[in-house]
């Protein structure tokens, strides 16, 4: 998995993101509700937002959060205790460390596969964790989150589009630089089928938090914008960087901490398939 990212250092941002986008997880898990699994693995669980919701929705199942970061799993454990749900944790690198996890009726992996050089091989390894008849569900693609109007009232209109273009370019470089990177057409249902699974399908779920935002989602927007400001510093022009700096100024009424028109609108896509019986 991408070794350039310090996932433990991003724990607050990852948990805020999960909590802000909880509505899509609820929809996605409800869509999988007919499974009645005995064992569930959340591979690449991070701080455990999805894993704890899985443990809530499938309360008779043994749910295990799997991640390469012991610090993030400790956070997941604390979250589970706070919510009063049963959650196991297991440290394992992805995808090399999946051997020994055992099999499950449901394997969930949210926005993890794209951090592996050979995505098709990663899907094969995930598919290998399934019991006959079990389901693999991954989150990849969808539409990026929108937070601000096209014209924020200062700077050049269209900042969000230019920031997204810079983020996409950085993502492409990340993919190219991953060890063993293999270019593949990212037709996820076709890739799940190539991994030996059947009944592949995709479903998209809306995250729609209208303005004005509550404190938690507003903080997630701030932290996300701060991170993107750092990543795009060498890509955006001086005018766009000045606009971002004003948006991130906590004393500015037009900044993201105080402006009333801040919102969250995103689409998350879940691709799932079943292991033949």
The Cα–Cα gap between 2 and 178 comes to 7
The reported pLDDT for the residue numbered 5 is 80
User: CATH code at 248?
Assistant: 3.40.50.150
Q: Is 114:175 a contact under the CB 8 Å cutoff? A: yes
- List of the chain residues with pLDDT < 70: 1-4
Q: How many domains does the chain have?
A: 1
Tell whether 189 is covered by a domain.
yes
Q: Which residue has the tokens 């949210």?
A: 110
Whether 25 and 48 have beta carbons less than 8 Å apart is answered as no
The single residue listed with the structure tokens 């569900």 is 137
Asked if 9 and 205 count as a contact pair (C-beta separation under 8 A), the reply is no
The verdict on residue 107 lying in a domain is yes
pLDDT for the residue numbered 3: 47
Structure tokens at 7: 């996932």
Q: Is residue 241 part of a domain?
A: yes
Tell me what pLDDT residue 4 has.
65
Instruction: Kindly tell me the sign of the dihedral angle through the C-alpha atoms of 40, 45, 50, 51.
Output: positive
Domain-embedded: residue 167: yes
Cα separation, 247 vs 263, in Å, equals 14
Q: Is position 182 within any domain?
A: yes
Euclidean distance between CA atoms 101 and 256, whole angstroms: 43
- φ and ψ at 90, to 5 degrees? -150, 125
Number of H helices, E strands in the chain: 9, 8
For residue 2, tell me if it sits in a domain.
Answer: no
Q: What is the pLDDT of residue 2?
A: 45
pLDDT of residue 34: 87
What residue numbers bound the domain in which 167 lies? Answer: 8-274
Q: Does the bond joining 258 to the residue before it have cis omega, within 30 degrees of 0?
A: no
- Residue 3 lies inside a defined structural domain of this protein: no
Note whether residue 53 is domain-resident: yes
pLDDT tens-place string over residues 136-186: 999 999 999 999 999 999 999 999 999 999 999 999 999 999 999 999 999
């Amino acid at each position: 998995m991408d070794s350039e990212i310090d996932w433990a250092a991003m724990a607050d941002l990852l948990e805020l993101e999960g909590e802000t986008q909880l509505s899509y997880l609820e929809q996605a898990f409800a869509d999988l509700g007919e499974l009645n699994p005995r064992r569930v693995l959340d591979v690449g669980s991070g701080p455990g937002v999805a894993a704890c919701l899985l443990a809530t929705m499938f309360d008779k199942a043994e749910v295990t959060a799997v991640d390469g970061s012991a610090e993030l799993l400790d956070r997941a454990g604390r979250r589970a205790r706070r919510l009063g749900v049963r959650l196991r944790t297991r440290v394992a690198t992805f995808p090399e460390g999946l051997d020994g996890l055992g099999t499950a009726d449901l394997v969930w992996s949210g926005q993890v596969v794209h951090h592996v050089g050979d995505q098709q091989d990663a899907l094969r390894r995930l598919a290998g964790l399934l019991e006959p008849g079990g389901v693999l569900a991954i989150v990849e693609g969808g539409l990026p989150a929108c937070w601000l109007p096209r014209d924020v009232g200062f700077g050049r209109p269209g900042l969000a589009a230019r920031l997204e273009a810079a983020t996409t370019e950085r993502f492409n470089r990340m993919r190219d630089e991953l060890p063993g990177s293999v270019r593949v057409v990212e037709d996820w249902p076709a890739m799940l089928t190539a991994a030996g699974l059947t009944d592949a399908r995709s479903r998209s779920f809306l995250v729609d938090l209208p303005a004005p935002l509550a404190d938690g989602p507003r903080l997630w927007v701030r932290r996300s914008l701060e991170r993107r400001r750092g990543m795009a510093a060498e890509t955006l022009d001086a005018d766009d960087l000045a606009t971002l700096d004003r948006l991130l100024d906590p004393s500015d009424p037009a900044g993201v901490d105080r402006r009333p028109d801040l919102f969250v609108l995103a689409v998350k896509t879940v691709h799932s398939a079943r292991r033949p019986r």
